[in-house]
Amino acid sequence: MKNLFFYSITILFLTSLKSQKLLCPCETIASEKRENLGLKKWPKFKADQTLKINSLIDYQYKTKDSEANLYWFKYRKPWWTDIKNDPWSEYPFFGKKFIEPDLKFNSNVDDKLRWKCGYSYLVDIPVKFKKNKKYPLVIFLHGGIDSDQKKFLSREGQRKSFYMSEEDPYIIAAPIKIGIDWDPKKVIDIINDIKKNIRIDENRIYLTGLSMGGRGSFIVASQYPEIFASIIALSPHHTPYSYVSLINKVKNLPILISHGNEDTTSSYDIAEEMYEGLKRLGSSVVFKPRLGIGHWGWESFYSNKENIDWLLSWKKKS
């Protein structure tokens, strides 16, 4: 009987240790329906500046792709656990100018679970920014990411490549995704966080992304179609399930799909299928094939005045 008692105590102790290891770095449970308010004040900013905003990283979300994340990061070292890549830095850039964040996680925190937390994100302020003016907002969703430093730097180049009109400047916001797929609620909380700190034209909020971000544009817009005026999905990736299944949820949005016909990473045929399906439903949809192009060339697309002008030409239907 005595041995049974000590055995039970040991099991409870080991179970307790196991549960402690499963604590994630964010503790505040995010609401799935209500707005989750930013937890920190924004830094002061000025025109032509890139801000790094970490105001939502303390929220723990119930993510859509939790099973995929648990499987993926169980067998791989998460890229963000390398301090040189940590997305929670207070400084905007990866690479040579990157300043390592001062993380003070408790010993019972498992950093592999950080994908449950809200997004850290970048905000690019226009050159001639005026505080009292309402600005269009473009949300940019990057593609898949790993520990390759070149890919971090390429994300920076992609965001900085966007054509910017002097007559119609806009705010660019770029979340940094840690999980496998993009989470709609995390993106919407970012939009609300920005609206509390910068005057945004709510009839001109736009969504675009490339590769996993192209697929993510469909995912986010399908959950919140009333938020966006238009979307551009660039080289949208098609796994772990096809975004064509979301067609009826995004059919009322103006959509531009662009895809390289020699892309062997994301399916050109599925992008074309999405376009044809939207066209049959009477959607305002444009398909721009990029001939002789594979899974690349995004900077030249975003730097093209015609493409950005198309995105910004739409206003949300009232």
Concatenated DSSP letters of 3-35: HHHHHHHHHHHHHHHHHHHTB-S--EEPPSSS-
Count the domains in the chain: 1
Whether the pLDDT of residue 127 is over 70: the answer is yes
Report the pLDDT value the prediction gives residue 216, as an integer from 0 to 100: 96
Other beta carbons within 10 Å of 197? 16
**If you ran DSSP here, which 8-state letter would residue 125 be given?**
P
Mean pLDDT of all residues in 204-218: 97
Identify the CATH number of the domain in which residue 56 sits: 3.40.50.1820
Whether the pLDDT of residue 277 is over 80: the answer is yes
Instruction: Give the range of the structural domain holding residue 176, as residue numbers without chain letter.
Output: 24-312
The answer to the question of residue 290 being in a domain is yes
Whether the pLDDT of residue 12 is over 50: the answer is no
- Lowest-pLDDT choice from 33-37, 57-61, 131-135, 191-195: 33-37
Whether the pLDDT of residue 161 is over 70: the answer is yes
Collapsing DSSP to helix, strand or coil, 92 comes out as: coil
The answer to the question of residue 115 being in a domain is yes
Q: How confident is the model at residue 91 (pLDDT cuts 50, 70, 90)?
A: confident
User: What are the tokens at 236?
Assistant: 């949208």
The answer to the question of residue 8 being in a domain is no
Report the pLDDT value the prediction gives residue 73, as an integer from 0 to 100: 81
| Structural element, H or E, at residue 50 | strand 50-53
Residues 6+ apart with CB under 8 A from 260: 235, 268, 289, 290, 291, 292, 293, 294, 295, 296, 297
Collapsing DSSP to helix, strand or coil, 314 comes out as: coil
Q: How confident is the model at residue 148 (pLDDT cuts 50, 70, 90)?
A: low
CA-wise closest residue to 163 among 305, 311, 314: 305
